[in-house]
């Protein structure tokens, strides 16, 4: 792992409080904030990103970005905050998974919807050749997620032919999926932030 330091020039204004510089410690903190997604931590998350907006696309030792952390845990407010700093869509971790893979695998409809509307593609394939869409296909309880991903997938026609998936009235179904996602409980209230390792990262059935 190569540690990269980001330097920024700061104009010093007499009498003003010195700005807080982002450091590698700040990056680690950013990842933790995105993982746990506590509402009270949004201001600190913003402070770190304001010191260096480029931190939004920093990687950890597994190639994951802050958005991977937020997506895996279903933290909608954090994901929206990160979007404001223009992260590069479809960045893949060392296993080839994007943040959308994580959101889809954990059935976080709200977060998946935000990612899809901001450039993430459901057809990007990981190292096993699987897309976010193929990961949720025919999984019990993932019908709404599948419809949502299909709505944004340029290969929906070929996918339908291969899988026999019905995509009639997909706009209405996707709208319903979004409404259902709004009704989901916030995982931050139910469990601590998980370290995003999906079934295709760790060879296990659930995120741990």
CB atoms within 10 A of CB 12: 8
- Measured at the CA of 201, the angle between CA 61 and CA 196, to 5 degrees, comes to 65
DSSP letter, residue 41 = G
Binned at pLDDT 50, 70 and 90, residue 138 comes out as confident
Average pLDDT of the residues of the chain: 76
How high is the pLDDT of residue 72?
Answer: 98
The CATH code of the domain at 25-181 is: 1.25.40.20
67-83 pLDDT, tens digit each: 999 999 999 999 999 99
Give me the residue spans of the domains in the chain.
25-181
Binned at pLDDT 50, 70 and 90, residue 24 comes out as confident
SS3 content of the chain, % helix, strand, coil (to 5): 50, 0, 50
């Amino acid at each position: 792992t190569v540690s990269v330091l980001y330097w920024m020039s700061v104009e010093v204004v007499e009498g003003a409080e010195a700005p807080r510089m982002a450091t590698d410690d700040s990056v680690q903190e950013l990842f933790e904030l995105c993982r746990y997604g506590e509402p009270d931590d949004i201001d600190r998350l913003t402070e770190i990103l304001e010191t260096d907006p480029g931190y939004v696309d920093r990687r950890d030792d597994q190639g994951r970005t802050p958005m991977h952390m937020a997506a895996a845990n279903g933290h909608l407010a954090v994901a929206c905050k990160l979007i404001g700093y223009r992260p590069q869509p479809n960045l893949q971790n060392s296993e080839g998974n994007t943040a959308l893979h994580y959101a889809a695998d954990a059935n976080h409809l709200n977060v998946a919807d935000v990612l899809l509307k901001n450039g993430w593609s459901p057809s990007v394939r990981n190292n096993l050749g699987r897309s976010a869409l193929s990961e949720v296909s025919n999984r019990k309880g993932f019908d709404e997620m599948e419809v949502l991903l299909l709505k944004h997938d340029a290969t929906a026609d070929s996918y339908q032919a291969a899988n026999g998936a019905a995509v009639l009235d997909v706009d209405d179904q996707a709208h319903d999926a979004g409404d259902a996602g709004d009704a989901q409980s916030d995982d931050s209230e139910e469990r601590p932030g998980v370290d995003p390792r999906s079934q295709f990262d760790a060879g296990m059935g659930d995120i741990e």
